[in-house]
Amino acid sequence: TERRIPQPNSREMPLITNVSDYEELARQKLPKMVYDFYAGGAEDQWTLKENKEAFSKILFRPRVLIDVSHIDMSTSILGYKISMPIMVAPTALHKLAHQEGEVASAQATAAAGTIMTLSSWSSCSIEEVNSSAPGLRFFQLSVFKDRDIVQQLVRRAENAGYKAIAVTVDAPRLGCREADVRNRFTLPENVALKCFEGLDLSKMDKTNASGLAAYVTSQIDSSLSWKDIKWLQMITWLPILVKGVITAEDARLAIECGVAGIIMSNHGGRQLDYLPATISCLEEVVREAKGRVPVFLDSGIRRGTDVFKALALGASGVFIGRPVLFALAVDGKAGVRNALRMLRDELEITMALSGCTSLKDITRDRVITESDMI
Please check if 369 is assigned to a binding site.
Answer: no
Residue 114 CA: distances (Å) to CA of 11, 80, 164, 334: 31, 10, 14, 15
Q: Is 280 near ligand FNR (CB under 6 A)?
A: no
Binding to ligand FNR in span 214-273, by CB under 6 A: 243, 265, 267-268, 270
CB closer to ligand FNR out of 321 and 332: 321
Burial class (CB in 10 A: 0-12, 13-18, 19+), 207: exposed
CA dihedral 247, 250, 254, 257 (to 10 degrees): 160
- List, as one string, the DSSP characters of 171-197: -SS----HHHHHHT----TT---GGGT
User: Which of 299, 338, 350, 369 contacts ligand FNR by CB under 6 A?
Assistant: 299
CB closer to ligand FNR out of 92 and 282: 92
Residue at 316: amino acid letter: S
Cα–Cα distance between 354 and 185 in angstroms, integer? 45
According to DSSP, residue 202 is labeled G
Please check if 140 is assigned to a binding site.
Answer: yes
Q: Are strands 80-82 and 86-88 parallel, antiparallel or unpaired?
A: unpaired
State how far Cα 283 lies from the chain centre: 20
Please check if 119 is assigned to a binding site.
Answer: yes
Least Cβ distance, residue 328 to ligand FNR (angstroms): 11
CB closer to ligand FNR out of 152 and 357: 152
CB closer to ligand FNR out of 68 and 139: 139
Cα within 13 Å of Cα(369), Cβ side: 15
Helix (H, G, I), strand (E, B) or coil at 8: coil
CB closer to ligand FNR out of 133 and 319: 319
The interface mask with ligand FNR, positions 132-161, x = CB under 6 A, is --------x---------------------
Q: Is 121 near ligand FNR (CB under 6 A)?
A: yes
Are 238 and 158 a contacting pair, CB within 8 Å?
yes
Cα–Cα distance between 167 and 241 in angstroms, integer? 6
Least Cβ distance, residue 229 to ligand FNR (angstroms): 15
Please check if 109 is assigned to a binding site.
Answer: no
Please check if 182 is assigned to a binding site.
Answer: no
Binding to ligand FNR in span 43-82, by CB under 6 A: 51
User: Which of 8, 16, 35, 38 contacts ligand FNR by CB under 6 A?
Assistant: 38
Residue at 352: amino acid letter: A
Length of the chain: 374
CB closer to ligand FNR out of 281 and 356: 281
Q: Which residue is nearest to ligand FNR (CB)?
A: 321
Q: Nearest 5°: CA angle at 151, between 146 and 155?
A: 150
Helix (H, G, I), strand (E, B) or coil at 321: coil
259: CB partners within 8 A, 6+ apart:
229, 239, 240, 241, 242, 293
The interface mask with ligand FNR, positions 80-119, x = CB under 6 A, is ---------xxxx--------------------------x
Cα–Cα distance between 312 and 189 in angstroms, integer? 45
Which residue, among 242, 163, 220, 143, has the nearest Cα to 153 in the 3D structure? Answer: 143
Please check if 6 is assigned to a binding site.
Answer: no
Residue 94 appears among annotated catalytic residues:
no
Helix (H, G, I), strand (E, B) or coil at 269: helix
Please check if 92 is assigned to a binding site.
Answer: yes
Least Cβ distance, residue 329 to ligand FNR (angstroms): 11
Least Cβ distance, residue 168 to ligand FNR (angstroms): 4
The interface mask with ligand FNR, positions 319-348, x = CB under 6 A, is -xxx--x-----------------------
Q: Catalog residues that contact ligand FNR under the rule CB under 6 A.
A: 37-38, 51, 89-92, 119-121, 140, 168, 243, 265, 267-268, 270, 298-301, 320-322, 325
| Residues annotated within a binding site | 90-92, 119, 140, 168, 177, 243, 265, 267, 270, 298-302, 321-322
| Residues annotated within a binding site for FMN | 90-92, 119, 140, 168, 243, 265, 298-302, 321-322
User: Known catalytic residues?
Assistant: 267
| Residues annotated within a binding site for glyoxylate | 177, 267, 270
